[in-house]
Structure 1
Amino acid sequence: MKTWETALVIVNEVEFDHSLHAFEVYDKKENFLGLITPATIEDMEQIIKDLDNGSCPINEMWEDGNGNVCNMEG
């Protein structure tokens, strides 16, 4: 499992559904903002690539998998 830190948030990769992992998003004060749950392994792999390349779920308004946009309010 990996952890990424952007200018705004910390993202932790966590176990979710067997080989499918989810991504917990926290602000810099470690307040939980949300959980990104990809629908497929391919989606998960793309999220990892995006995070590895410096993407930020808040700046890019990622959805959490339930239609909610990631923001600093949680």
Structure 2
Amino acid sequence: MNIGNLYFSFTNPSLSMLLTLSLVLLLVHFVTKNGGGNSVPNAWQSLVELIHDFVPNPVNEQIRWSFRKC
């Protein structure tokens, strides 16, 4: 797709990124829509916290492992 002098392409990784972003925004919407400020988390808040705890752990382990190899 050309817009002026710029060329934009929509590829499979672009589609997967768009779908992932949509899913995350939908999840955030449901968590904050009702009960987002409760002191006792509901099921959606627990799921978001689980994802938040899970994602950094493998990343940190991979970074530590790659520095040990050096």
Instruction: Settle same-fold status: TM greater than 0.5.
Output: no
More strand by share: 1
More helix by share: 2
TM-score (norm 2): 0.27
Q: Which has the higher contact order (CA 8 A, sep 6+)?
A: 1
Computing the radius of gyration from Cα coordinates, the structure with the larger value is 2
